[in-house]
Structure 1
């Protein structure tokens, strides 16, 4: 009787749910300062120091079934490639380090796609493929650029698309079947009459959603350094979600914008993150923490976004089962390294929850302030830790506040997008 009951209990048991964990990060930008920070640690590993730069966030990336970031640079592989304050190129060691840190996929449809001209895009594809890093957002033809990249995990087929609303004045080849093509939906089609409209993009998203269990769309949009989404981007996000996307992940403003849930007319629960900020960059390098400093440093506030996708059972639809915000701060000791020559330049995105815990535990091991009056070294150590803890706690709270949902604003038209001019040089070191 026991085997019979055992078989019956197994047959009647509800099928286990399938679940996929995704993690998304913001812009990865190889500013000169970031390259210098990597070179300063080049002797410590085999990835020219880029593994050290990414080390603090690697545990979160590796824990995900699929981790995605926006790669805001070509990777030409040419050490003589021309670069400037707003013209980027990264060494092939960067994509290899991203893979080592746990990144599975990068989005490449962004305003810096053509920084190394048209030839730089196929070179980037080749270097990403050599690193084993998947990419989406550009391809040899327009149709291929809008093909979803579908990755299967735990029996769930997750599709990814990447598109940009900015190309910094560059253009796709006029012929749709001539390489390279970037998935492009400009705000105005006056200079790019052949470019897709938002309505056409929504229809392509609808078609892509039919080819996978869940579709995630990354969009490069908005106005730099502005915390509110553009009204037309809100409209596009809803159109893409209504068309079948389960989430829309935004980047380009280089500061944080709201993360909001949205229920479609069909009753699906979806999510839009308008901007995850910079994940690795050298903006606001001059930030000094102190009273009144909250408004500064916002280009160093960042976020890793966790999304949980779930299928309740065979044949059931895949739903958005949960999301979580992981606050990140781009730590930068540039000012210290300038004053103290023994300090090497260091730029790293750090997990603020872990940083707060570490600093609190370290402070608990030190004597109280009243007990350090005669010990200059201990007093200085405690003061430094208290300052670092105050920074971590304040930036964490600010990140969570900036990403709160907001009402759709009845705002005036957004200012024109800033282009790379000489006056921006000091900001983007």
Structure 2
């Protein structure tokens, strides 16, 4: 009798174990994560329940700290405080889910010596105060990336990590450069890429070939292909074009159209130090991508000829799963003009242009919207 009881118990245990394994496997199948598909204004088949989510994204232009700007921020104890300069626009920056800045002067810190044009280096406090103003990610690929060498880049990237700010375009190591920048917000995965036309003639160090991304159309396309598997949307930063020109060059337009057709959903441009318009582009798949050719200066010591005018570029990213299809759409672009005011090279403030000069605000809006209102 004892042996029969043991055999029966063994058979019962095998049945229970098999049933448990069946339901465990079945449960895994039902709870697998949503796939990361590239679907910007594309339709992608899927097998999941109806779902809709939306993210607001914004970007600002050049944070380029001339000595007159960082000296204005200097405190009696030797620290720097940029908060008063940003106070007038914080409410507009903090309302969006993800906000990006173009940090054009490297944030190498005071230990290596602050410096201004033509070789910039900025204090760490600008990173802290941008974070406080709502900045989540900074673009670091520009013509000033190597102004103060690899030390400034390493200092900046280490400090951004300390602050919890994502950076893209310049890197502290090969592994860092090979790590995709993807921010996941409200069920939408947004991938960021960044490139510059050059580094003011400063060669990329042979021992650090990864330090900054250069504009190379084939490389960008290949990078976007890799990013597709990890992202719903791809945002590409480009430091390009000609300084102080209010319209993009033919080369800018050609590259933008090529990238739109190869996976870029939003292209954000910098370098001209003045604003260049926003435009919808055919993405070759029945939808549209969006480019803002230049966001101008956001905070700098430059004045006159539109160099003190920048703004906040906004766009919404909508992801909808409906009837076994996923559709991601870029929509509702908008722009809020800003201006840097000062008095005798002090009291620098970024302010909403509408509050300073309503007529000029309307002029800037007409300039930025002229190609999307056609």
Give the TM-score of the pair, scaled to structure 1: 0.70
Distance 1:129 1:140 in 2: 11
Equivalent residue, structure 2, for 1:399: 364
1:35 and 2:45 equivalent? Answer: no
Residues 161-184 of structure 1 show CA distances to partners (whole Å, capped at 9, x for unaligned) of 111112101222336xx3652011
How far off is 1:32 after superposition?
1.2
1:202 and 2:234 equivalent? Answer: no
Contact 1:158 1:214 in 2 (8 A): yes
Query: What pairs up with 1:208-227 in 2 under 5 angstroms?
Result: 208-227=227-246
Equivalent residue, structure 1, for 2:310: 302
Distance 1:59 1:395 in 2: 21
Q: Identify the match of residue 92 of structure 1 among 118, 124, 139.
A: 124
Residue 171 of structure 1: SS of its match in structure 2?
coil
Gaps of 5+ in 1: 1-13, 186-196, 285-295, 336-344, 356-387, 408-429
Distance 1:143 1:317, change over 3 A: farther
Gaps of 5+ in 2: 1-48
Contact 1:301 1:395 in 2 (8 A): no
Distance 1:239 1:148, change over 3 A: farther
Contact 2:137 2:165 in 1 (8 A): yes
How far off is 1:405 after superposition?
4.0
Distance 1:116 1:125 in 2: 14
1:138 and 2:176 equivalent? Answer: no
Equivalent residue, structure 2, for 1:105: 137
Query: What pairs up with 1:257-272 in 2 under 5 angstroms?
Result: 257-272=276-291
Residue 254 of structure 2: SS of its match in structure 1?
helix
Q: Identify the match of residue 212 of structure 2 among 178, 182, 189.
A: 182
Distance 2:351 2:172 in 1: 37
Distance 1:28 1:16, change over 3 A: same
Equivalent residue, structure 2, for 1:317: 327
Distance 1:158 1:168 in 2: 30
Q: Identify the match of residue 266 of structure 2 among 247, 266, 271.
A: 247
Distance 2:88 2:114 in 1: 30
How far off is 1:136 after superposition?
0.5
1:127 and 2:135 equivalent? Answer: no
1:26 and 2:61 equivalent? Answer: yes
Distance 1:330 1:168 in 2: 26
May I ask how many residue pairs the two structures share in their alignment? 322
Distance 2:228 2:94 in 1: 26
Contact 1:110 1:163 in 2 (8 A): yes
Equivalent residue, structure 1, for 2:89: 57
Q: Which runs of 4+ in 1 moved over 4 A?
A: 140-144
Equivalent residue, structure 2, for 1:194: none
Equivalent residue, structure 2, for 1:78: 110
Distance 1:47 1:153, change over 3 A: farther
How far off is 1:131 after superposition?
2.2
Query: What pairs up with 1:407-418 in 2 under 5 angstroms?
Result: none
Equivalent residue, structure 2, for 1:167: 199
Distance 1:116 1:77 in 2: 11
Q: Which structure dedicates a bigger proportion of its chain to strand?
A: 2
Contact 2:278 2:369 in 1 (8 A): yes
Distance 1:316 1:168, change over 3 A: same
